[in-house]
Chain A
Amino acid sequence: MRKYSVFAVAREAMRGHRGWEAQWTSPEPRKEYDVIIIGAGGHGLGTAYYLAKEHGITNIAVLEKGWLGGGNTGRNTTIIRSNYLYDESAGIYDHALKLWDGLSQDLNYNVMYSARGVMMLSHNIHDQQVFKRHIHANRLNGIDNEWLTPEQAKEFCPPLDISRTARYPINGAALQRRGGTARHDAVAWGYARAAADRGVHIIQNCEVTGIRRNPDGSVAGVDTNRGQINAKKVGVVAAGHTSVLMEMAGVRMPLVSYPLQALVSEPIKPIFPCVVMSNTVHAYISQSDKGELVIGAGTDQYSSYSQTGGLQIITHTLDAICELFPIFRRMKMMRSWGGIVDVTPDRSPILAKTPVPGLYVNCGWGTGGFKATPGSANVFAHTIANDAPHKINAPFTLERFRSGRLIDEAAAAAVAH
């Protein structure tokens, strides 16, 4: 792999950029791999990368039904933060955050991780109690998260309306300064390039149609529209389609897939310096490097694989955004889209072994998986390589629903994303 750098860019500029090599290749699938990863999103490509880099396993295929990074990786609003309440969640999200900081250098690909600060608005005493609980727990876990007065919140994000006459006035905010955004496509591409460089096969337009099992029940490989591919270990990293794939191995999942929509405004000059979220009025917003306001909200109410949703979700999201930021009422929605998110009963992910030997699953990230990408991929690679979870993902089992040992961020906090 030829290294990316300002010198490389300068060199290529002199010769019409003729010298760049393909970031990844499109090989024909082999008959057999050591590990098959189903799903070439950030989590799946990252898993392959860390398997190769940290565990010396390079005979890997990442199978993708469509185009790499085309699922939720390329559709989300790219918010990154780690100020979750429970030790288990804080553990995995902060592991991710530490990897975000340095990911560009590690991958030699600028993923544009921008620690712009994620500010979560508090609108009432209940919000305040919940956020304070987070802040204290985060502090003792060594994770930054601080309480801001409304005035401090406004100083941090000048477009914010902090007037007491608002329908839901703001009484403070929790700010994680290390939180921020990254460029979603670059994350997928950066991992793809770095994984391919280490010998990983990324096979796009390859749909898995079955999961093959040995007589003893263990995984033997997969059937695809491009033929049978064997492997002793298969990792399913397919977000909204996890249930469909796991069903092929006879495993029912505690998952429901919902449509999640997002939108961007027309691009404008920089005006919005951070990420702002409000769970009380249900919306979140940031401004992209291109100048678009990137806006998202909750899911539609019904399960669906349609990658579309209702206009009423969009309008309600904008209701909330314009309540918080009345100056944006004349801005225009330029593009809206939808993804499919897989949601667990406790709103925490599953990164675990399954009842099928050799089959591993990484799913259930709901509306907030992007932020976990490097951390999730890193410990999932560990889990596959060692056939045992890393201590960070050990709590995120499938069995927890049986035992009742849930990691219920939603119940504890009514906090999404």
Chain B
Amino acid sequence: MLLIYCPYCEEERSELEFRQAGDAHIARPTNMTEMTDEDFEAFFFLRDNVKGLTFERWRHLNGCGRFFNAARDTVSDKFLTTYKAGLPRPDLSTLRPATEAIVETYEATESDAK
């Protein structure tokens, strides 16, 4: 169970209070009707599905109800930071890495052992 810092409540709370809401920083186009099918596909269906650092949205559903953004490492599941909706991507160089050396899943060590 993850521990998530809500930038509105300014508190760390358990994952049970939150709902993940997909990728962050995908703005809904303002010219919806003019988009090509390809652009619409890219906007609505295609995802980076990043292995590593990802920017994603969460909602503090059973708390303040606000949507906010998070930078999380999808390998370690560690949060680098969370920030309010509407803010730009934070400058990650100012943040400490999620782990000193990202530890892959333990299985990865098995294939290392070759």
Binding site for B on A (CB under 8 A): 65-67, 70, 204-205, 207, 241, 243-244, 247, 252-257, 301-308, 310-312, 342, 345, 401-403
Contact = CB atoms under 8 A, between A and B. Distances in A.
Interface string B50-81: 11001010000000000000001011110000
Contacts of B38: 402
B23 to A, nearest CB: 9
B88 to A, nearest CB: 21
B107 A256 contact: no
Given A302-B2, A305-B75, A310-B2, A256 B49 contact: yes
A62 to B, nearest CB: 15
A256 B47 contact: yes
B105 A252 contact: no
- Interface residues of B: mostly helix, strand, loop or mixed? mixed
B15 A310 contact: yes
Contact of A67 (B37, B74, B111): B111
Interface of B: 1-2, 15-16, 19-20, 22, 37-38, 40-42, 44-51, 54, 56, 72, 74-77, 105, 107-108, 110-111, 114
27 contacts: A67-B110, A204-B111, A243-B47, A243-B48, A252-B48, A254-B45, A255-B47, A255-B49, A257-B51, A257-B74, A301-B19, A301-B20, A302-B20, A302-B56, A303-B56, A305-B51, A305-B75, A306-B74, A306-B77, A306-B105, A307-B107, A310-B15, A311-B1, A312-B15, A401-B41, A401-B45, A402-B40
The 5 closest A-B pairs by CB, nearest first: A243-B49, A66-B111, A205-B114, A254-B45, A401-B45
- Interface residues of A: mostly helix, strand, loop or mixed? loop
Contacts of B19: 301
